[in-house]
Structure 1
Amino acid sequence: MNIQEKKIFISQLTAGQQLQDVFLVAKKSLADTRAGKPYLAMTLMDRTGEIEVRVWENAQQYDALIEEGDYALVQAVVKPFRDQLQMTVTSLRKVDETAVDLASFLRTSTRPAAEMHAALDAVIGSITDPALQQLLQTIFQGEVLQKFQRAPAAKKLHHAYIGGLMEHTLSIVGMADKVADHYPLIDRDMLIAGALVHDLAKIEEFDYSKPAFQYTDRGRLVGHLVMGVDIVRRAAGQVPAITDDQLDRLLHMILSHHGQYGFGSPVLPMTPEAILLHYLDDMDAKMQYMESLCVKMDGNSWQWTDYQRHLERYLYLRACGAAQEEGAEQAEDIPDPAASSPAEPVRQPREKSSLAHRQQSLF
């Protein structure tokens, strides 16, 4: 079967552009306008980002034709909408996944994998406690290491690309190493070990074999905090030198690193290393998220973003080069469909409850 070569990426789209190209259907929902006419709301993606799409004609037919996770050959017109671009689709058809180049749709860390692997080895080699070093060497090998090198750190919001988990982890380790020197009460080896394993179970929480990333059944039912404890505890069974106290303190860092009950931690951080890890993790996630917003801005000036629901605020950021093709995942924002089609005003999406809203995080 011939590979359907992708000619244009989302980061290259401009207002008024007419196109026909292949995109991945990341989201899809059928809704009705106020006049009762069905329309199809979709999110399309490639390796450079996402774009909102509306299908006003033959919506039910296309809804039955295409599913989330499918590839589609899309004919559309790009239109501006509230300082963002949307596509109005005139036709689409399903494309077999064997006919697309997966590299066009899977974003990858810009940091070379070999460089990160060498950095990981160096960090583990810097651990002075023999038992903790042996535990980390036992964990980061074989299949676990292979998955760790490929896994994303999140489904969508931060480091959501192949190699993102390793990049995020090493970023936290770098900060942890500096901060440990600043505070004498910190056990540097324990902090570094906790930073290395805090998100490790995301290798099993997500299915990242193809875009768009999804949760595995076990990942959704159990979650990476509990799954991470399982991975570390199994490895600890092969390291007789590790003490119960060391293991408990390390597992506590995994279970508490989200920092709040409302964000999924079953316990609050209660050691200096656990408290510090929580703040470093939160900081790195937010900084990378904001960097991804800067990349998509035009020009080189300070600008206001759309309202960021996960952070409950607008952000004032300086653009850092929207022309970069490998821009990060686009932050979610609810568009006003009525403005995109004045002749056919549509129902606004329902607001989430305040409790659900406040329980969102970047983790």
Structure 2
Amino acid sequence: MEKQFIKDLKVGDKVKDLFGVVKKSLANYSSSSSKAPGQFMKLVLGDCTGTIEARLWEGVEDVIDLFNEGDVVLVEGYITEYNGLQINITSIEKYEGAVDLTLFQQTTGKDRREMAKRLNAIVQSIGNSYLKKLLISIFSDRKIYSAFINCPAAQTIHHAYIGGLLEHSLEVVQICELIASNYKDTINRDLLITGALLHDIGKIKEYNFSSISFNMTDIGKLIGHLVIGKEMIDEKIREIPNFPPELQLALSHMIISHHGEREWGSPEVPKTIEAFALFYGDLVSAKLNQFYNLLNKGVDSESGWTPWDKFLERSAYLINYSENGD
């Protein structure tokens, strides 16, 4: 039977196909529900074309322990709409057969070879000899390099696909180049661009990107990519003779503060102009990618609005500029 891809599903469609389990959780029925007190299952299912919310309302206790995040499941149900498309599941079971992983993992739409060339060109553009040696040491490490060009940048929020980390890092570099060009007298361009390339390097150990759901590794859950990244960079710096301590300190601060706020996961807030610029470069790349992905989920042809996005906490409006004249 021909695969039913998530991007092609629409309200009223009957569904019977394989999907990857990206997220799985239980929730209580609301007090206003007509259902008896109990729980229903909330799922995010995925394939190579995107993700979709799904709900199992009945018989949760019979299947809750039969599959986990990262498994492939056979789902039967139908498509409804509630703050976006949703699969109402009538039957779900773990699929035990062999699967083609490429059918269930999203991949960047950009050419990874071309992005890799851009990465190498950026490394060569660094004028500071110590920072350049550091970048060459990191990206000439075949295991690191291979992981960096394949790793996702997140599980679900932004650039959550194979090659996403490379794509995101290059976007942050591009934004930071613009910032640096406007503050030439204040910002150390080489330091800012090095931080932009390396700010998420720890994600190559935080995510298991051979899994369907890009589930987090044990070290990812226990340590997190900010600290992992700093440790990876420190290890490479120890191999470079006479690396300036103040340069290492500045770069370390950028890595651990790039989430911007303590409540967002940064041990410290940005306290140098390079760290401050990196935080906003990272944020702009992530948020615009979220918005771009929301627009790609589909826009109602009559209203021009997308479905509701719980992470952005809004629907998006797409103006048809072609109707507005030149």
Matched, 1:14 2:10: yes
Where relative contact order (Cα < 8 A, 6+ residues apart) is larger, the structure is 1
3-state SS of the aligned residue for 1:306?
Answer: coil
Post-superposition offset of 1:167: 0.4
Structure 2 match to 1:134? 133
Structure 2 match to 1:208? 209
Q: Within 5 Å, give how 1:1-363 maps onto structure 2.
A: 7-30=3-26, 34-36=35-37, 39-82=40-83, 84-96=84-96, 98-141=97-140, 142-184=142-184, 185-299=186-300, 302-303=304-305, 306=308, 308=310, 310-311=311-312, 313-318=313-318
Q: Aligned partners of 1:65 and 1:256: how far apart in 2? A: 40
Q: Aligned partners of 1:265 and 1:105: how far apart in 2? A: 32
Contact 1:40 1:60 survives alignment (8 Å): no
Q: Aligned partners of 2:199 and 2:27: how far apart in 1? A: 40
Q: Aligned partners of 1:292 and 1:88: how far apart in 2? A: 23
Post-superposition offset of 1:222: 1.0
Q: Aligned partners of 2:286 and 2:26: how far apart in 1? A: 33
Letter in 2 for 1:12: D
Under a length normalisation based on structure 2, what TM-score does the superposition of the two structures give? 0.88
Q: Aligned partners of 2:161 and 2:293: how far apart in 1? A: 12
Letter in 2 for 1:223: G
Q: Aligned partners of 1:19 and 1:305: how far apart in 2? A: 20
Under a length normalisation based on structure 1, what TM-score does the superposition of the two structures give? 0.80
Q: Aligned partners of 2:271 and 2:261: how far apart in 1? A: 12
Q: Aligned partners of 2:238 and 2:65: how far apart in 1? A: 51
Residues 56 and 318 of structure 1: CA distance in aligned 2, closer, same or farther (over 3 Å): same
Post-superposition offset of 1:107: 0.5
Q: Aligned partners of 2:162 and 2:110: how far apart in 1? A: 11
Unaligned segments of structure 1, at least 5 residues: 321-363
Deviation sequence 1:281-340 (CA, Å, 0-9, x none): 1111111111111111325664365264x45x53543279xxxxxxxxxxxxxxxxxxxx
Unaligned segments of structure 2, at least 5 residues: 30-34, 321-326
Give me the CA root mean square deviation.
2.2
Residues 180 and 62 of structure 1: CA distance in aligned 2, closer, same or farther (over 3 Å): same
Aligned residue-pair number: 312
3-state SS of the aligned residue for 2:64?
Answer: helix
Percent of residue pairs identical: 38
Deviation sequence 1:93-135 (CA, Å, 0-9, x none): 3212x52111011011111111111111000000111111111
Q: Aligned partners of 2:319 and 2:210: how far apart in 1? A: 32
Contact 1:26 1:44 survives alignment (8 Å): yes
